[in-house]
């Protein structure tokens, strides 16, 4: 029996031995994290070419119960390519758990291995009891426990980030107590970018300078819509900002920073040191969007946009707040038409 409790550790540490299990269940509410880890496990079992060689079969949610017979037949289906087969059941509902017991009862050594992702199991779940007592099924539970200080310090050290004393560490640990796993992952990525090629220890001030930048939902979405030239969604975002009494100067400053970032990507490429250290810190999907925008805008267009933003910034500071909304709106509309 293998029952694993997982929280932000490297999944490579326990990949060995998974090939001897019929079913591996990943249980947690963070869908993206489950997908990421199920991919790591499948690659450890079947190799990085398994998907291209069609040795991985995926089913999602309601498809699972409807295709029960097909899934069971996949257990012994062999590929033209050498290597292990993997069946992935994504978002399995607890009420459909009998497919797991059916797979386990028919499974033989060298059959396809099934990886299942689930968001929850009831307290007295029949399936949970079965998984815990099974000798050939694995349950990986993603707990809500926060990182302890030693683990967090070691993880950051692995990423090349040293801390300037216990105060920084205490601040980081406290931050984990009220942050979701997705936010933690993003903030650590931002810290890594911020300290890229910088061997000096991370200070408390630097930490707050980085993690306090909560642009992902608000200002960044507005800048993205502007770069998409989506005037309808852009004006919706502006209306929301104005209803929240957001300062037009602050909004304009972020939009300017985003377009400056696009200009730097155009000049140096998305992975250069000059680009990565420049605010705003873009990672994952945000960086991918920026790459798309950089291709859609020529260097000349970006230069014109930045000039317009600079002029608008000067005008915003010159006129009273009663005129600022109009100035900002006119500027952004003008940029859409560039």
SS3 per residue for 205-232: HHHHHHHCCCCCCCHHHHHHHHHCCCHH
d(CA 44, CA 141): 19
d(CA 92, CA 63): 9
- Say what the alpha-carbon torsion angle 286, 291, 293, 295 is, to the nearest 10 degrees: -170
- Confidence class for position 3, pLDDT limits 50, 70, 90: very low
Is the pLDDT at 178 greater than 60? The verdict is no
110: Cβ contacts below 8 Å, ≥ 6 apart: 84
What is the average per-residue pLDDT within 164-191?
72
Q: Is the peptide bond before 280 cis (omega within 30 degrees of 0)?
A: yes
The listed range with the strongest mean pLDDT (144-153, 186-195, 289-298) is: 289-298
The listed range with the strongest mean pLDDT (127-131, 275-279, 308-312) is: 308-312
Average pLDDT, rounded, for the chain: 81
* Torsional sign, CA 245, 250, 254, 256: positive
What percentage of the chain exceeds 90 in pLDDT?
A: 26
For 7, the token pair is 């929280």
- CA distances, 307 to each of 219, 235, 273, 338 (Å): 20, 21, 24, 12
Is the pLDDT at 227 greater than 50? The verdict is yes
Given a contact cutoff of 8 angstroms between Cβ atoms, the answer to whether 280 and 257 are in contact is yes
At residue 182, the pLDDT reads 60
Phi, psi at 203, each rounded to 5°: -95, 165
Q: What residue has token string 């090629």?
A: 197
At residue 107, the pLDDT reads 92
332 or 175, greater pLDDT: 332
What 8-state DSSP symbol labels residue 93?
-
For 146, the token pair is 């926060």
For 328, the token pair is 């900002």
Is the pLDDT at 24 greater than 70? The verdict is yes
What percentage of the chain exceeds 70 in pLDDT?
A: 86
Given a contact cutoff of 8 angstroms between Cβ atoms, the answer to whether 115 and 38 are in contact is yes
181 or 60, greater pLDDT: 60
DSSP string of 148-198? PHHHHHHHHHHTT--BSSHHHHHHHHHHHTT--HHHHHHHHHHHHHHTTT-
∠ CA(93), CA(52), CA(20), 5° rounding?
A: 55
18 or 14, greater pLDDT: 18
- Confidence class for position 86, pLDDT limits 50, 70, 90: very high
d(CA 142, CA 30): 9
Is the pLDDT at 211 greater than 80? The verdict is no
At residue 39, the pLDDT reads 87
At residue 265, the pLDDT reads 92
Is the pLDDT at 23 greater than 80? The verdict is yes
What are the counts of helices (DSSP H) followed by strands (DSSP E) for the chain? 16, 6
DSSP string of 243-292? HTT--HHHHHHHHHHHHHHHHHHHHH-TTSHHHHTSSSP--HHHHHHHHH
In this structure, of 22-26, 78-82, 250-254, 306-310, the range with the lowest mean pLDDT score is: 78-82
236-261 per-position pLDDT tens digit:
888 888 888 888 888 888 899 899 99
- Confidence class for position 5, pLDDT limits 50, 70, 90: very low
In this structure, of 47-51, 58-62, 204-208, 260-264, the range with the lowest mean pLDDT score is: 204-208
At residue 336, the pLDDT reads 93
Domains recognised in the chain with CATH numbers: 2-142 (3.40.50.300), 149-211 (no CATH), 219-336 (1.20.272.10)
- Confidence class for position 180, pLDDT limits 50, 70, 90: low
Is the pLDDT at 330 greater than 60? The verdict is yes
pTM of the model: 0.46
329 or 159, greater pLDDT: 329
d(CA 274, CA 288): 17
Is the pLDDT at 10 greater than 50? The verdict is no
């Amino acid at each position: 029996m293998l029952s694993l409790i997982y929280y932000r550790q490297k999944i490579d540490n326990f990949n060995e031995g998974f090939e001897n299990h019929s079913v591996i269940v990943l249980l947690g509410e963070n869908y993206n994290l489950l997908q990421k880890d199920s991919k790591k496990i499948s690659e450890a079992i079947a190799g990085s070419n398994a998907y291209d060689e069609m040795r991985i079969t995926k089913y999602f949610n309601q498809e699972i119960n409807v295709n029960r017979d097909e899934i069971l037949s996949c257990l012994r289906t062999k590929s033209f390519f050498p290597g292990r087969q993997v069946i992935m059941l994504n978002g399995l509902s607890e009420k459909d758990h009998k497919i797991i017991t059916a797979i386990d009862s028919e499974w033989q050594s060298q059959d396809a291995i099934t990886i299942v992702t689930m968001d929850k199991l009831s307290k007295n779940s029949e399936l949970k009891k079965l998984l815990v007592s099974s000798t050939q099924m694995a349950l990986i539970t993603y707990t809500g426990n926060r990182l302890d200080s030693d683990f967090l310090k070691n993880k950051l050290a692995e990423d090349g980030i040293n801390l300037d004393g216990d105060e920084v560490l205490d601040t980081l640990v406290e931050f984990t107590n009220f942050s979701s796993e997705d936010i933690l992952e993003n903030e650590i990525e931002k810290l890594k970018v911020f300290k890229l090629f910088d061997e000096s220890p991370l200070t408390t001030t630097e930490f707050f300078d980085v993690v306090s930048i909560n642009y992902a939902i608000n200002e960044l979405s507005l800048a993205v819509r502007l770069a998409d030239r989506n005037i309808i969604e852009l004006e919706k975002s502006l209306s929301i900002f104005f209803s929240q009494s957001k300062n037009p100067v602050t909004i304009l400053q972020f939009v300017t920073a985003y377009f400056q970032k696009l200009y730097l990507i155009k000049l140096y490429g998305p992975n250069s040191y000059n680009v990565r250290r420049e605010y705003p810190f873009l990672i994952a999907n945000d960086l991918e969007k920026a790459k798309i925008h950089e291709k859609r805008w020529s260097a000349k267009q970006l230069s014109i946009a930045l000039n317009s933003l600079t002029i608008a910034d000067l005008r915003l500071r010159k006129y009273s707040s009663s005129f600022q909304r109009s100035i900002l709106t006119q500027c952004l509309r003008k940029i859409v038409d560039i």
